[in-house]
Structure 1
């Protein structure tokens, strides 16, 4: 794994769990302080089934140059279940409440896949809170787009029927489906690990996954979009990096490229030899790219990136 290149390695404090309560819902984060941070704290927001423990490897690298916060918002991980009619607006406000409680007036927000919706909504509803925004695997989930929303719904039905092994196999196919580009050897290992994780999900995490899918369905059927930011077509007004794997067919590069071009201050790139799950398939490169962007270092010429647009 690539490690941040620092002249002197800062001391990393022991992680600690912080707990919050907002609008009747309890949730928590793992905070890893960095005593000589080079930038604002980094907030990590993952996909449908990811929880704060999915970020442990990344925290080891990021905490060398920034304080990190991995959070289980309501409806994920060890947090309280969240009814489907509480959308990304509620989640962004719950995240904002946590950041206020942590006394973090300005943060770098990272969203991956489903997490991009929450990160973008945070920047939309609380723009003064976000210094920079990084969106990995970013696309709208509305039917008619290239993203396979119908596949997501079909997988939810498989899981509702209790067919965990079928769900795991079909989900990994959806997440790692490529478009002909070479893939890292690590992708095979990642596929096996993720398949095992998905096929052994405990009941409370299955329920939360299904609630998250229902949350997206409710938002689309009620409002025609998955967030107020998407509904109003407002783009982030902070420096933004949009990226995904070059062979990502779940959230295709062209979707992210189109979004980045609509922003006032955004860059777009793709990661070589990788699909949708950049954070797992190329974890070292993922954290190194974040270090460059969040510390305002040049992005051009990074060996694992294609052209930065």
Structure 2
């Protein structure tokens, strides 16, 4: 299903996949995943969107089936790779959706190549990592670099909010999926190198993104990037909005894919986000409206 593309940028091979109708009134949606994700990790979201809009998933250099990427290449190179893909596939301006690490990469694309971004939805985006964020990144990287048994369960226990007082939709099934996947495809040094890129490129945070309609979304029970942190990150994007999806944590795209896809499609199509029973009110912490 879909069209698969083998691409190369500056000597590094990577892959993209395009599904959905080729011509719609809403620009193509490009999905950028977490440091431990490959393009298959978007399957549930892709299914929800592909009957309405063109959807593009990608394994960039350093991810999934793409070539490994030396640690000396940072987020700017990956943003260049996204720009290369968009141009090569003739997509025009696109709607960028990023989750976790992918949200920081999407922000980098909007910072360096705003002309290719129509709308942007950042899921679990906390902005420049502080001391707590850097410590969390390093702890996760250390876990990946060691050949430890039961990595899947260790990762799931850290990524998911297991507090029984916090209702998380599909918690057990998502937990089982993560354990089975990461026990079979345990990440290693290259995935750790990808994750560490989120703490590099200090110049990324020197100026605000402007001219890009953006919505920051997080699960109401996200303990890795709490709503308070995601809300503050709106200061990095002029006119951005913020909201939460109920009964979800950091893994919204797995726990509530239909709801997240609905938010993405509505926002990128200019439709209202009011009155949705799974969504909190859209706040505009820094005033200006989104469009």
TM-score (norm 2): 0.91
**Could you say which residue in structure 1 is the equivalent of 2:190?**
208
Residues 305 and 63 (structure 1), Cα distance of their counterparts in 2 relative to 1, 3 Å cut:
same
Contact 2:110 2:209 in 1 (8 A): no
8 Å CA contact retained: 1:179, 1:249: no
3-state SS of paired residue (1:157): helix
1:184 to 155, 158, 168: 168
1:192-271, aligned counterparts within 5 Å?
192-201=176-185, 205-216=187-198, 219=200, 225=202, 228-230=203-205, 232-271=206-245
Equivalent position SS for 1:184: coil
1:248-301 CA distance string (max 9 Å, x none): 010111111112245322111001111110000111101111111011000111
Q: Cα deviations across residues 168-227 of structure 1 (Å, max 9, x unaligned)?
A: 22321221126776323411110111122112215xx5232122134345x2xxx5x3xx
Cα 1:185–1:213, aligned 2, differ >3 Å: closer, same or farther?
closer
Counterpart in the other structure of 1:41: 28
Superposition deviation, residue 123 in structure 1 = 0.9
1:157 — aligned with what?
Answer: 142
Q: Give the drift of 1:236.
A: 4.0
Q: Distance in 2 between matches of 1:15 and 1:300?
A: 33
8 Å CA contact retained: 1:244, 1:253: yes
Question: 2 CA distance for matches of 1:260 and 1:89?
Answer: 21
Of 57-66 and 43-52, deviating more is: 57-66
Residues 232-241 or 206-215, more deviating: 206-215
CA gap 1:215/1:120 in 2 versus in 1, 3 angstroms: closer
Secondary structure at the aligned position of 1:58 is classed as: helix
Distance 1:144 1:71 in 2: 30
Q: Distance in 1 between matches of 2:245 and 2:112?
A: 29
CA contact (8 A) 2:127 2:230 kept: no
Q: CA RMSD in A?
A: 1.9
Deviation at 1:39, TM superposition (A): 0.3
In 1, Cα distance between equivalents of 2:255 and 2:196? 28
Tell me, yes or no, if structure 1 residue 16 matches structure 2 residue 3: yes
Tell me the distance in 2 between the aligned counterparts of 1:248 and 1:118.
19
Give 5+ residue unaligned stretches, structure 1: 1-13
**SS state of the match for residue 29, structure 1?**
strand
Q: Separation in 2 of the partners of 1:35 and 1:102?
A: 12
Q: How does 1:45-124 map to 2 (within 5 A)?
A: 45-124=32-111
Q: Which runs of 5+ in 2 are unaligned?
A: 284-291
C-alpha deviations, 1:41-94, integer Å up to 9, x for none? 000001011111111222122111110100000000100000111011000001
Distance in 2 between residues matched to 1:64 and 1:284, nearest whole Å? 13
**1: distance between equivalents of 2:29 and 2:125?**
18
Three-state SS of the structure 2 residue aligned to 1:38 is coil
Runs of 4+ in 1 over 6 A off after TM superposition: none
Aligned residues: 283
Q: 2-side partners of 1:151 and 1:263: how far apart?
A: 24
